[in-house]
């Protein structure tokens, strides 16, 4: 059992763990192996039965990984698809991985199309949409209302991270801080963004 409390203390080891494993809110529950790789994310009720079910899913995933690494072709396909569903690939990484797999069943093809569509939507939001918003910001075209302004700058954050542009990320973050920095409920959000910014600067 491992409990990680996100504190955002500068220099603290593993302070970016939540972001590293894909957590997007508090609390987040993950099953990890001894190397820190994600085996499952718990999203159900916080009960013994629900956690046991998630632990069972983690055990199944670990068994599937073992079989895939041992050379089982069917297990390798299922393992790759499961990892894709868990968000462990970019679109480019997944497409590269698929070239080494055998023929997929109709059900597997269907799952794959859904996962690829999700990755493409994320990519478009981080590139086409975020890029357009960043150009608008550079031209002084920024939404006036907070309801439009907040998602506008969040998309720029995602685009800046995708382009590894720390200066753009920092400028968008400052705009968000101007709007929401006094809100105590936004403190965790800003802690997460500071961790993302620190990674970009490094």
Spatial separation of the C-alpha atoms in residues 109 and 81, rounded to whole Å: 10
Could you tell me the mean pLDDT of each successive run of 10 residues in the chain, 202 residues long?
Answer: 54 61 64 75 80 86 90 87 81 82 83 85 82 92 89 92 92 94 88 89 87
Residues 6 or more apart whose Cβ sits within 8 Å of residue 201: 166
Token reading at 183 = 């809100």
For residues 55 and 127, what is the distance between their CA atoms, to the nearest angstrom? 36
- CA separation for the pair 26, 35 (Å, rounded): 23
Predicted pLDDT of residue 165 = 94
CA distance readout (Å), 30 to 3, 21, 54, 128: 10, 8, 9, 32
pLDDT of residue 101: 80
């Amino acid at each position: 059992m491992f409990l990680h409390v996100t504190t955002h203390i500068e220099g603290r080891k593993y302070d970016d763990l939540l972001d590293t494993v894909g957590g997007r809110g508090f609390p987040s529950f993950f099953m990890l192996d001894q190397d820190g790789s994600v085996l499952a994310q718990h999203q159900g009720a916080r009960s013994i039965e629900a956690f046991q079910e998630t632990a069972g899913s983690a055990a199944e995933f670990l068994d599937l990984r073992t079989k895939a690494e041992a050379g089982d072709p069917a297990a390798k396909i299922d393992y790759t698809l499961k990892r894709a569903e868990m968000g462990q690939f970019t679109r480019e990484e997944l497409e590269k991985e698929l070239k080494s797999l055998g023929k997929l069943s109709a059900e597997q093809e269907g799952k794959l199309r859904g996962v690829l569509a999700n990755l493409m939507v994320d990519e478009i939001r981080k590139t086409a949409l975020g890029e357009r918003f960043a150009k608008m910001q550079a031209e002084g075209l920024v939404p006036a209302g907070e309801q439009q302004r907040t998602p506008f700058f969040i998309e720029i954050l995602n685009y800046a991270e995708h382009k590894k542009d720390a200066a753009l990320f920092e400028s968008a973050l400052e705009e968000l801080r101007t709007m929401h920095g006094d809100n105590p409920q936004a403190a965790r959000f800003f802690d997460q963004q500071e961790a993302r910014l620190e990674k970009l600067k490094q």
